[in-house]
Amino acid sequence: MTCLEVLANLASVLTAVVAALAAVYFWNDKRSKRRRLENYLRRRKQDPSATTYQHTILHIMAKLGMTEEEILHASFSSRHIVCRIRADHSSGLATELVFEFSEEPKLDAA
């Protein structure tokens, strides 16, 4: 084997290792954001002084420091976060999404 073949083989192995590490990092990041959102909504629901259990995206963005996209991904991948629509009373149209923790897990949509 020439030196060039050895380097090519080494590069392909390193590429696979870096790709696997990146996949684990992104999976863990996605999981940790979902758990942060679930834990926050669970704590808020269990708080006896809380007046509401539903929170808007803007509220969650301010409290958890997550982007709107991260909140939506985390909520849709969670089995315990329920997304509801808040409607305008005069027009009946949806104005915002609110999120709430549910102890009973959602069923997977088929």
pLDDT in tens, 67-100: 999 999 999 999 999 999 999 889 989 889 999 9
Q: Which residue has the tokens 């709430």?
A: 100
- At residue 97, φ and ψ (nearest 5 deg) are -95, 140
70, 32 contact by CB (below 8 A)? no
pLDDT digit string, tens, across residues 3-41: 999 999 999 999 999 999 999 999 999 999 999 999 999
33, 74 contact by CB (below 8 A)? yes
pLDDT digit string, tens, across residues 56-67: 999 999 999 999
State the pairing for strand pair 55-56/81-87. Answer: unpaired
- At residue 87, φ and ψ (nearest 5 deg) are -105, 155
Nearest in space to 85 (alpha carbons), one of 100, 97, 93: 97
CA separation (Å) from 95 to 37, 49, 73? Answer: 22, 26, 20
